[in-house]
């Protein structure tokens, strides 16, 4: 009889009873996890399993993918590699728990076999218990061919899913001026800059309100502050930008804004009347993603 370690057998979250507003909290790259979950069409990152997970389930390469064929939650390739899909329907109130159970299910699945993931994972470990924490080494992808081995490409349904997924990819570039900031072109004449802020939501909102009241919320001429997403407990400001300039042209404007934001974030005094009005305006242009 195998001996199970305490960290893997004791429940970490009662996922049936509560909703976890910040499922990636505690991970070094929390904003990047949110960005890959909600904003980025095609990207991947290698994940490192904790030693106790390797001891129990074996040492197999695990790759995070924004999506997988036919929206699978996980995949066990014939070469032994494990993939988990980040952009999938949430079965419980805790995305972290859902992803952890998908990883463990894939590790228990023989290479090449379909992975069965429970519709409701129940209580158990979360990503924070399964992975060695650290910065994500993100690879932006132009297509999803990295999903599959040669044999899988012969499967008509999988090939059709790959073609549909590739057709849905819009040009997206990870910006260097700020962590978890992305440029994308959504139409020939229109683009977006989207930045997942890693700060406490209330503090971030106050800082953005102060900048708005001061007329310093834009990235430059011909830009527009489109509003914000609230995603997994973090704020994601979005700017409309012209479609013609390339991603590199927005590095300097975003760097300037990031400095203004950080300087403003340090202000601790209550908002004045203009700031409060600006805050209400920002809240009114806010969309929650779950």
DSSP secondary structure letter of residue 3: P
| Per-residue pLDDT, 290 | 66
> Along the chain (290 residues), what's the average pLDDT of each consecutive run of 10 residues?
37 56 96 97 97 95 93 92 91 91 97 90 92 97 86 77 88 97 95 97 98 97 95 97 95 98 97 98 88
| Per-residue pLDDT, 3 | 36
Contact 136, 45 (CB under 8 A): yes
18 SS3 class? coil
Q: Where are the domains of the chain?
A: 6-167, 172-289
Q: Is residue 45 within a helix (H) or strand (E), and if so which, with residue range?
A: strand 43-47
Most distant CA atoms of the chain, gap in Å: 67
Neighbours of 184 (CB within 10 A): 18
Q: Is residue 224 within a helix (H) or strand (E), and if so which, with residue range?
A: strand 224-231
Contacts of 7 (CB under 8 A, 6+ apart): 52, 125, 129
82 SS3 class? strand
């Amino acid at each position: 009889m195998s001996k199970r370690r305490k960290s893997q057998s004791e429940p970490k979250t009662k996922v049936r009873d509560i909703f976890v507003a910040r499922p990636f909290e505690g991970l070094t790259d929390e904003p990047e996890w949110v960005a890959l979950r909600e904003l980025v069409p095609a990207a991947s990152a290698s994940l490192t399993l904790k030693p106790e997970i390797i001891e129990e389930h074996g040492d197999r390469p695990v790759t995070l993918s924004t999506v997988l064929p036919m929206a699978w939650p996980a995949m066990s390739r014939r070469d032994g590699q494990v993939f988990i899909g980040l952009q999938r329907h949430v079965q419980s109130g805790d995305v972290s728990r859902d992803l952890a159970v998908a990883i463990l299910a894939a590790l228990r699945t023989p290479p090449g076999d379909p992975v069965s993931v429970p519709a409701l994972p129940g209580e158990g470990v979360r990503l924070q218990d399964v992975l060695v924490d650290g910065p994500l080494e993100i690879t932006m992808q132009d297509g999803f061919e990295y999903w599959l081995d040669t044999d899988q490409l012969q499967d008509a349904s999988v090939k059709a899913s790959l073609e549909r997924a590739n057709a849905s990819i819009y040009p997206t570039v990870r910006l260097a001026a700020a962590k978890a900031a992305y440029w994308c072109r959504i139409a020939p004449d229109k683009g977006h800059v989207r930045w997942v802020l890693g700060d406490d939501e209330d503090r971030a909102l106050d800082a953005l309100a102060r900048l708005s009241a001061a007329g310093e919320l834009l990235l430059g001429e011909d830009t527009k502050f489109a509003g914000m997403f609230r995603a997994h407990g973090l704020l994601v400001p979005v700017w409309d930008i012209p479609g013609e300039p390339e991603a590199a042209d927005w590095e300097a404007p975003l760097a300037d804004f990031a400095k203004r934001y950080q300087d403003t974030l340090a202000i601790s005094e209550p908002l004045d009347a203009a700031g409060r009005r600006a805050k209400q305006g920002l809240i009114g242009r806010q969309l929650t993603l779950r």
